[in-house]
């Protein structure tokens, strides 16, 4: 399992978070990199991107551990939903670990509103130690 798939699975499998970002058509709105074209502005969603920062190498093995920055952008049409979904993400990830995601640390966030769509956004940044 690669990093992106792993993160997507973790987010998709959390029922509390899913309940907040599932639209009336039953779509769980979690995406990587970007929203789908013409995504409605009144539907809440999560978009995540990531960057591999570096790897831990030994004499015989490369990338024994990998270090990633994960950016989770929460999008909502009002600030209350934004904060609720943001809190659900933090509840899920702040203490999360599994056999691949060995350690995750909440680093920072950035909040704002897109003036064109009037959609609120919150970018949560995490540092992750990952084992492939």
Q: Which of 21, 25, 1 is nearest to 88 (CA)?
A: 21
Q: Does 103 bind other proteins (CB under 8 A)?
A: yes
Q: Does 38 bind other proteins (CB under 8 A)?
A: no
Q: Does 64 bind other proteins (CB under 8 A)?
A: yes
Q: Which of 46, 77, 71 is nearest to 124 (CA)?
A: 71
CB of residue 62 vs other proteins: minimum separation in angstroms? 8
Q: Does 57 bind other proteins (CB under 8 A)?
A: yes
CB of residue 101 vs other proteins: minimum separation in angstroms? 13
Q: Which residues contact 97 (CB under 8 A, 6 or more apart)?
A: 103, 104
Q: Which residues is 78 bridged to in the sheet? A: none
Query: Where does this chain bind other proteins (CB under 8 A)?
Result: 56-61, 64-65, 103, 105, 127, 129
């Amino acid at each position: 399992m690669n990093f992106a798939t792993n993160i997507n699975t973790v987010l998709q499998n959390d029922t509390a978070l899913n309940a907040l970002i599932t639209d009336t058509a039953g779509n769980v709105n979690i995406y990587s990199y970007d929203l789908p074209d013409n995504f409605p502005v009144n539907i809440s969603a999560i978009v995540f991107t990531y960057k591999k920062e570096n790897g831990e190498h030994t004499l015989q093995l490369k990338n024994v551990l990998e270090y990633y920055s994960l950016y989770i952008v929460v999008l909502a049409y009002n600030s209350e939903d934004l904060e609720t979904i943001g809190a659900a993400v933090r509840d899920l990830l702040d203490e999360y670990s599994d056999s691949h995601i060995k350690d995750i640390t909440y680093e920072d966030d950035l909040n704002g509103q897109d003036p064109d769509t009037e959609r609120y956004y919150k970018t949560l940044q995490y540092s992750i130690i990952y084992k492939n």
